[in-house]
Structure 1
Amino acid sequence: MCRWHGPTCEDCCFLCDGPRSTTLELLVGELLANAVRHSDSGRRPGGTVTLMVMEDDDGLWIEVADEGSPDLAIHVRPFDPDDDGGRGLWLVDRIASAWGVREAHERRVVWFHLARPPAHVRGPLPGDRAPAG
């Protein structure tokens, strides 16, 4: 059984509203499922997966860290409508404003960024200033 460290998807979704909340939940869920399914975190008893959520002025940064896998490189598979799986990273690649993979302290970290929509799309946030004019 894999152990969970970090917030839940529901804990993260307060950081955005409406469609962005659904998008955040979808992409986080895909990366978590991949970490459990394809890494040593899900293959061995006591494996761990960690979710980190950070917010800055540009948007949300999400990191999912797992125990890696020596036999599986991370890559985006071409979309195949007849395939039953393989869409997780394809979705991240198409929806996130940026994403990547890095090794850190014997763990594999897959991250993505969701850019904050412009104020005219999202409405004002606390601290936003009205345009000069």
Structure 2
Amino acid sequence: MPDARAFARSALTAWDVRGRTDDVLLCVSELATNALLHGVPPGRGFLLRLLAYGDDGGVLRVEVHDSGGGVPAVPEPRDGCPGEGGRGLLLVAELADKWGVGERHPGKIVWCEFATPPP
């Protein structure tokens, strides 16, 4: 996901976001990878959006739009260890302040949010 990370890094730099950059970039990479692996039929792509909002722009939202079905969820670990899949969403759930899934026709929007210090 080098293109997705490069896009996100460019936006964060342009917006002068300094806090939590590594967390945001890792979540961008995980959500984009999940979209390609599970949410995009052959020949289709996904849309990555970054939005800053709040009174001081103090919340950064990452959205990945895809046209696949299903609702992603963090899998329950078995015997204290996660299985082969699901580690990406586990990372997103741990690093982001919030995350979730929204409706889109066709498909879904998987998003996460980060409180960021003002520039």
TM category (shorter chain) comes to 0.7 to 0.9
Give ranges in structure 1 of 5+ residues lacking alignment. Answer: 118-123, 126-133
- The one-letter code sitting in structure 1 at the alignment partner of 2:11 is C
The Cα offsets for residues 58-90 of structure 1, whole Å up to 9 and x where unpaired, read as 320111000022xx4311013565744421111
Larger relative CO (CA 8 A, sep 6+): 1 or 2?
Answer: 2
How far the C-alpha of 1:50 sits from its partner, in A, is: 0.2
- The one-letter code sitting in structure 2 at the alignment partner of 1:66 is D
Distance of aligned partners of 1:82 and 1:115 in 2 relative to their CA distance in 1, 3 Å threshold: closer
In angstroms, what is the RMSD of aligned CA positions? 2.4
Give ranges in structure 2 of 5+ residues lacking alignment. Answer: none
Give the equivalent residue in structure 2 for 1:109. 109
Correspondence list, 1:36-47, <5 A: 36-39=36-39, 41=40, 43-45=41-43, 47=44
What is the TM-score when the length of structure 2 is the normalising length?
0.76
Give the equivalent residue in structure 1 for 2:18. 17
**2:27, 2:91 within 8 Å by CA — same for their partners in 1?**
yes
SS at match of 2:27: helix
Matched pairs, number: 109
Give the equivalent residue in structure 2 for 1:63. 63
What is the TM-score when the length of structure 1 is the normalising length?
0.69
